Amino acid sequence: MTAPTVRLTGVGKRFRGTVALADVDLTLKPGITGLLGPNGAGKTTLLRILATVLRADAGSVNLLGRDPNAPDERTDIRRRLGYQPQELGFPRGFSSFAFVNYMAVLKEWSEREPRQAEVRRVLAAVGLGDIATKRISRLSGGQRRRVGLAQALLGTPDLLVLDEPTTGLDPEQRVSLRQVLAEIATASTLIISTHQTEDVAALCEQVVVLDAGRVHFDGSVQDLVARAAGRVWLADEAEPTAQTSWRLASGRYRNVGAHVPSGAELVEPTLEDAYLLLRGARARDDETVPA
Amino acid sequence: MSSVSVSEAHSTTMKPLVWLEIRRFARHPVFLAGLTACTVVLVVAEQDAIAHPTNDRIGAAAVALFIGVFSVLAAYFLTRSMKSAEEILEATPTTRPRRTAALCATCGVSALCAAAFGVFGVVALQIWPMPAWLWGTFSEVDLVVVMAQQTVVAAVGGTFLGVAAGRWWRFRGAGLVLVVGLLFWVELSSGATAVVAADGTWPKFLRLFSPFAFFQTAQVDPTEAVDTFPGSPAWYLGWLLALCALAAVAAMLHRADGVVRARLMRLGPVLLASAAAFLILAATHGPQHVVRSFPDGTTTVITSR
């Protein structure tokens, strides 16, 4: 059995009295884990803790068998870590190659030849090989995100933390990114925060749903989807009792809800249906909490 | 990469990082502007000086201003340039103090340029010599020390100060505030006390408290007299080097932790005490009164009492 590369126990984090994470337990093994949740759920805070750029206020964090609070062990973790933050700015005047090369130096690629070969490899992997010498300021938003991804891929890290890596990418780029990540995931642990449930469904073995700083689901994608089995149906009208309904291109309505009317035409649920159902259950729980 | 030991990795990482930062510094528009201005000013000044010799042939003040002060700004902007990518830099094994140390190493560029201008001045003096009395009562060693203070040390200190400010000052316009503050410090300490009661105890301390101090009246032509000011140029060099080291330590202290922080915190008070000691030694050694030298080779001691 593969040993976990990430183990979080009772992790908490507050920002000026606001609870960002509360009592988070999480275990990740090699493979891809998707992190889902609404805005403000604490996803970015969790990823920043995993990337060692933020310290937890409570609980214990173990990454790649080491303690990120100990300076030497933190450095060791960072040698085996790749991180793409949600919002990444770039210094002025840098080309993609120059920036990723700078990052490679910081990641201790000291020898010039192997470093530059690695920089070319990761830029090619994210489809920027042909425009590597173009200034980053002249690249599109999607291309800039891929520069951020390229630096994260340097050295094929054992732990790869990606915060919304598919934002701003076109469908072809997303598919290409999935191929790159799937290849890395054969030996590394990847955690990806995203709002794109189809990316999670296509890539991830494990899914974690975070809401209001707490883990509301941690299991396989199939298990989460199974929770919505028998709760998604098609109808000619939007069902008032459904938790969510929307009109399809066919003119019919897709309804997702806990209470299915008798005789409804049930369909196979998707991860998105299951996520919406979980979110709806959470919202109902909040409403029933006494003031 | 995971098998690389911490010390082994550190020793190999700094060299390419230092080279990258040096290249960035050497190409920085602010530094290049200072370099260009300094070249123009010194070439023009040298042409004038051949016709009308003065004791400012080496143009040390111009080097301190255009290389030293412009290095402050260039180093500040260079340090701040990575602000937007800070989050991913933090997630790399190269710690912030090491990145800061690499930025501090860019002082080599400004120091080299300042030294080149100094050499240019010395060579020009060999070709077009000037009357010896214009150097006041300085020995040759004093002359070299003063020249080093006003060129190389000003360039190194300027770079360190810029990096320190880039690490600690995050408000808009911090670079401008830094330069104005620096010039105010120099003007207040050096300018205001250079002439008035220069041999009084407090004016002497205040003049030498500056990061740039003249040790004789500048821009003197052969028909006038030159004043050599009190204080020891050699001990004053110690004060300046201590200030440089304090700026570097302050820069590297930013977000340092563990052993590095503990070492820097121990070093800080030692450097502060050294700086204070050098300042006291600079003010209490060397000539204690203004000495005026005349074109006929005679000198007279000028006292304010």
Whether residue A121 sits in one domain with residue A264: no
Domain that holds residue B108: 6-302
- Say if A86 is an interface residue toward chain B (CB within 8 Å): no
- Say if A84 is an interface residue toward chain B (CB within 8 Å): yes
Among A31-45, A85-99, A121-135, A163-177, the range scoring the smallest mean pLDDT is A163-177
- Say if A73 is an interface residue toward chain B (CB within 8 Å): no
Question: How confident is the model over A205-263, as pLDDT tens digits?
Answer: 999 999 989 999 999 999 999 988 888 988 888 888 888 888 989 888 898 887 777 77
Residues B201 and B204: their CA atoms lie apart, in Å, by 5
Quote the pLDDT of residue A288: 46
Question: How confident is the model over A159-211, as pLDDT tens digits?
Answer: 999 999 888 788 888 888 888 899 889 889 999 999 889 889 989 999 999 99
CB contact under 8 A, B1 and A51: no
Of A89, A102, A107, the CB nearest to B20: A102
CB contact under 8 A, A110 and B85: no
> ipTM of this predicted complex?
0.87
Pairing of strands A214-220, A81-84: unpaired
Whether residue A175 sits in one domain with residue A74: yes
Question: How confident is the model over B155-172, as pLDDT tens digits?
Answer: 999 999 999 999 999 888
Strands (E), chain B: 226-228, 290-293, 299-302
State how far residue B13 is from chain A, nearest Cα, in angstroms. 5
- Quickly list H helices, B27-106: 29-51, 60-63, 70-80, 86-90, 96-104
- Flag whether B1 is in a domain: no
Whether residue A1 sits in one domain with residue A96: no
| DSSP helix/strand/coil, B71 | helix
Q: How far is CA A174 from CA A127, A128, A159, A202, B185, in A?
A: 11, 14, 21, 11, 57
State how far residue B2 is from chain A, nearest Cα, in angstroms. 6
Whether residue A22 sits in one domain with residue A93: no
Q: Which of A153, A174, A194 is the last residue of a domain?
A: A153
Quote the pLDDT of residue A289: 43
Question: How confident is the model over B14-69, as pLDDT tens digits?
Answer: 899 999 999 999 999 999 999 999 999 888 877 777 666 665 656 778 899 999 99
- Flag whether B199 is in a domain: yes
Residues B218 and B134: their CA atoms lie apart, in Å, by 10
Residues B229 and A216: their CA atoms lie apart, in Å, by 76
Whether residue A149 sits in one domain with residue A128: yes
Q: Which residue has the tokens 């009308």?
A: B52
A25-38 mean pLDDT: 93
CATH code (residue A51) = 3.40.50.300
Contacts of B6 in chain A (CB under 8 A): 72, 75-76
User: pLDDT averaged over consecutive 10-residue blocks of chain B (305 residues)?
Assistant: 47 84 96 94 78 65 91 95 92 94 96 92 81 81 89 95 94 90 85 59 82 78 78 94 97 90 95 96 87 83 71
Quote the pLDDT of residue B253: 95
Contacts of B99 in chain A (CB under 8 A): 106
B259 → chain A, closest CA residue: A71
Of B9, B16, B85, the CB nearest to A91: B85
User: Which residue of B14, B17, B22, B92 is the best one to mutate when testing the A interface, meaning the one whose CB has the most A CBs within 10 A?
Assistant: B92
Quote the pLDDT of residue B257: 84
- Flag whether B181 is in a domain: yes
Whether residue A132 sits in one domain with residue A75: no
Residues of B with CB under 8 A from a CB of A: 1-2, 4, 6, 9, 12-13, 15-17, 20, 81-85, 87-95, 99, 257-260
Q: Which of A120, A153, A186 is the last residue of a domain?
A: A153
Is there a contact between B242 and B293 (Cβ–Cβ < 8 Å)? Answer: no
Q: What is the number of H-type helices and E-type strands within chain A? A: 9, 13
A155 → chain B, closest CA residue: B1
Establish, for the pair of chains A and B, how many residue pairs have beta carbons separated by less than 8 Å. 91
DSSP A66: B
Whether residue A188 sits in one domain with residue A95: no
Burial of A256 (0-12, 13-18, 19+ CB in 10 A): buried
Cα dihedral: B26, B30, B35, B37 (round 10):
170
Of B91, B95, B99, the CB nearest to A51: B91
Quote the pLDDT of residue B195: 55
What are residue B301's DSSP bridge partners?
B291
Whether residue A76 sits in one domain with residue A2: yes
User: Which residue of B3, B22, B88 is the best one to mutate when testing the A interface, meaning the one whose CB has the most A CBs within 10 A?
Assistant: B88
Pairing of strands B299-302, A214-220: unpaired
Domain that holds residue A100: 87-153
More confident residue, A109 or B131: A109
Q: Which residue has the tokens 């912030």?
A: B96
Whether residue A161 sits in one domain with residue A125: no
Sheet holding A244-247, edge to edge: A244-247, A253-256, A232-235, A265-266
CB contact under 8 A, B6 and A105: no
The helix (run of H) or strand (run of E) holding residue A98 is helix A96-106
- Say if A72 is an interface residue toward chain B (CB within 8 Å): yes
Q: Which of A136, A153, A170 is the last residue of a domain?
A: A153
Residues A140 and B49: their CA atoms lie apart, in Å, by 55
Contacts of A96 in chain B (CB under 8 A): none
- Say if A131 is an interface residue toward chain B (CB within 8 Å): no
Whether residue A167 sits in one domain with residue A51: yes
Quote the pLDDT of residue B222: 63
Whether residue A130 sits in one domain with residue A200: no
Quote the pLDDT of residue A193: 94
Number of domains, chain B: 1
Quote the pLDDT of residue B295: 82
Give pTM, 2 decimals: 0.87
Share of chain A above pLDDT 90, in %: 57
